[in-house]
Amino acid sequence: MNRKKWNVRKINKERSISLAREAGIPAMAALILEARGYDTASQISDFFDTDVALSDPFEIKDMEKGALRVQKAIDNFEKICVYGDYDCDGLTATAMLYTYLELNGADVIYFVPSRLTDGYGLNANAVKTLKDNGVDLIITVDNGISAIEEAKLIKELGMDMVITDHHKPSDVLPECEAIIDPHREDDSSVFKEFAGVGVTFKFICALDYMLSGDMDPEMILDQYSDLIALGTVADLVPLVGENRLLVKRGLQMINEEPRPAFSVLARAAGLEGKITSERLSYYVAPRVNAAGRMGQVETALMLLLSDYEDEAMTFAEQLLKYNEERQKAEADICLEIAEQLKEKPELLHHRALVFSGKDWHTGVLGIVASRIVEKYGKPTIILSEQEDGIAHGSARSIEGFSIFDALSSCSDLFVHFGGHTLAAGLGLNVDDIEIFRHRINEYALSVPMVVNTLDIEVRLLPTNLTLDFVDLLSEFEPFGNSNPQPIFGLFNMTVKSVKAIGRGKHIRLDLMRDGRIVTAVKFNMTLQEFPFNVGETVDFAVKITENVYNGTRNVSVQIVDMRPSGQDEELLFDSLMKYQDVYNFDILPEHILSVCPDRAMISAVYMFIRDIKEFSHSAEILTLRLGFSPDKVGSVQISLDALCELGLIKKNSDTYEYIAINNKVNLTDSKILQKLRYKDI
């Protein structure tokens, strides 16, 4: 169990009550918002305001120039190509603009590059093909801002280009008719956090004004808000300001008048009841993205463009197949990584994890990197070694460690790289992978070590868990980036019972405090993996949602994380970080030597595992079982490593197993104990 460090937000209850009175909202709502940094009644009112005015699209730089150029193309029957992107944001933007232009009499086609053969954005071969097909004007959606050379080629070939994008530009902009991107330095628009589909929506509003003489964004939303919501949620842009309004409006359309694509995808995913932003993110978007990841992007676009359910269902079934292939590709890579760790367990001690393999599916590297980050709580780079000698990869990180800065320190090794603080893409020569692993970990050792954290918004009591509270939380929707679903703390809960559900894949717990029972569920955890015993007192991080069964509403408590009650986490994580650095320095700094266990501790660890034969939980839980304080967890982990090294126990995946041997061993023969200057006293 990779537990995160809990960040329990500090709240001024008196201030929250005062804010609740000023804003006219329930006290619990004010507590949550104060925990998120809302400290004035006006900020709170703005958050709950459903009548946010949409900004004028012409505030965005080059909007008028771009709309005029497209109007001219429509009037003169020029051939237009909507040039999209293969992810959910790019596909929804492509479907929306293509449909709008076609309905308004444009001679329009679309082109979406293949992730596997074309790569991201404009490329020379595609541009030449479009020229051969008689295209006069290219309109990019969700890409184009970095297409410096491609823009020159488009101009040389006698075509024009209008760029609509939401990615941050470099110092040099492409030469073209118009560049519509709120992140331009010379752009003065107020709201800049749109996804690509959001910028496309603004462009359609401006173009519609040019064509009709009437500014009617409501009409555009009536037609396309579902696509806008899906693309916005999938691209993980902040769900604040206009984005919050756009997603709310889109969810309303999806639930009341869904286009065929949403109806069939919901049915195919087995979704019943209300579609929320989380359901879009976890069930719908991955299926749309699966087509692009597996190199079959046309299927997803045809689904979004379908007007008939029978036709849409055919495409949806294909997407399900691609999604299964995507899941298998991920599982295969994760299995290979597990084998690599079995052969070289020392890799896990690195501050930044780097894994590579031959011909790993490049479409799923980012997902695999995210899974490894979630499992081990460390920045991770996954590389696929290709036949041409280049390894292409994806990087993901945790809050507090900029993967972009880390990669920048190794940029001389790359044939290409780009990204931002928490995610990046890169390519390098296969022969340089080991050098890269060493260099990026050198950088990681040069900056403060960080741990993965979990924000706990508010402490709850069992008495808070009511349907009224569930209804209150629904007012915070839609949830997403910058407005996550709240995570609450249930502290000092006594475990009364634990049962397996869902064919043993999940567990249901009865928890008690102050005489009240709370039933909670932990998904993707078996009875064997649950680390606590009945009767123990545990803290739980939970999400609170609604569950409807046979028409009856119930409060659903879903466990996100858990920890022993009353534990000093500062001591715990300080000890764990010292343990990690035992393996990261050749000569250990003096303060790390304190993590060296004594003979009594090593003996206690050995006898515990000898008596129960195998142990499948973390060193934190073993420390608890042995009665040691949290600051000894690193020493307990060193004890486990030394016993494995000496052949007294063995580690099989996440399980430590006792090994019966007849010969005597000396603790001083352990290399890890030698490094820590262990003395057998």
Residues 554 and 589 in one domain: no
Higher pLDDT, residue 506 or 215: 506
Residue 674: Cβ within 10 Å count: 12
CA dist list (Å): 178 to 67, 77, 121, 137, 296:
9, 20, 17, 12, 30
What is the mean pLDDT of the segment spanning 642-654? Answer: 92
CATH code of residue 122: 3.90.1640.30
The pLDDT of residue 341 is above 90: yes
The pLDDT of residue 576 is above 90: yes
Over residues 445-464, the pLDDT tens digits come to 999 988 889 999 999 999 99
Residues 608 and 463 in one domain: no
Of 214, 241, 260, the residue that ends a domain is: 214
What is the mean pLDDT of the segment spanning 346-361? Answer: 95
In a domain, 152, yes or no: yes
pTM: predicted TM-score of the whole model, two decimal places: 0.87
What is the C-alpha to C-alpha distance for residues 508 and 498, in angstroms, rounded to an integer?
Answer: 6
Report the alpha-carbon angle 17-22-23, nearest 5. 95
Residues 620 and 574 in one domain: yes
The pLDDT of residue 50 is above 80: no
Residues 535 and 494 in one domain: yes
Can you give the residue range of the structural domain that contains 70? 57-214
Q: Is the CB of residue 271 less than 8 Å from the CB of residue 278? A: no
CATH code of residue 487: 2.40.50.460
CATH code of residue 413: 3.10.310.30
Quick one: pLDDT band at residue 129, thresholds 50, 70, 90?
A: very high
Of 422, 451, 480, the residue that ends a domain is: 451
In a domain, 331, yes or no: no
Q: Is the CB of residue 526 less than 8 Å from the CB of residue 498? A: no
> Strands, DSSP E only, in 515-674?
516-522, 537-549, 552-564, 614-615, 649-652, 655-658
What is the mean pLDDT of the segment spanning 95-104? Answer: 98
In a domain, 328, yes or no: no
What is the mean pLDDT of the segment spanning 624-637? Answer: 96
Over residues 596-616, the pLDDT tens digits come to 999 999 999 999 999 999 999
CATH code of residue 610: 1.10.10
Quick one: pLDDT band at residue 13, thresholds 50, 70, 90?
A: confident
Q: Is the CB of residue 203 less than 8 Å from the CB of residue 67? A: yes
Residues 509 and 642 in one domain: no
Quote the mean pLDDT of the chain: 93
Across-strand partners of 155? none
User: What is the structure's pLDDT at 327?
Assistant: 93
Quick one: pLDDT band at residue 1, thresholds 50, 70, 90?
A: very low
What is the mean pLDDT of the segment spanning 497-517? Answer: 97
Residues 603 and 557 in one domain: no
Cβ-based neighbours of 461, under 8 Å, separated by 6 or more? 513, 514
Over residues 388-422, the pLDDT tens digits come to 999 999 999 999 999 999 999 999 999 988 778 88
Residues 184 and 77 in one domain: yes
Separation of CA 118 from chain center: 25
Residues 430 and 470 in one domain: no
Residue 653: Cβ within 10 Å count: 8
In a domain, 269, yes or no: no
Residues 545 and 595 in one domain: no
In a domain, 233, yes or no: no
- Give the tokens for residue 594: 């304190």
Strand order in the sheet with 655-658: 614-615, 655-658, 649-652
In sequence order, which ranges of 213-308 are alpha helices (DSSP H)? Answer: 217-234, 241-256, 260-268, 277-279, 285-293, 297-305
Residue 168: Cβ within 10 Å count: 14
User: What is the structure's pLDDT at 6?
Assistant: 96
Of 149, 184, 214, the residue that ends a domain is: 214
Backbone angles phi, psi at 273, to 5 degrees: 85, -160
Strand order in the sheet with 178-180: 107-111, 79-83, 137-141, 160-164, 178-180
User: What is the structure's pLDDT at 681?
Assistant: 62
In a domain, 407, yes or no: yes
Residues 140 and 64 in one domain: yes
Q: Are strands 423-429 and 390-396 parallel, antiparallel or unpaired?
A: antiparallel
Q: How many domains would you assign to the chain?
A: 4
Residue from 462, 589, 447, 451 nearest 515 by CA: 462
Residues 473 and 531 in one domain: yes
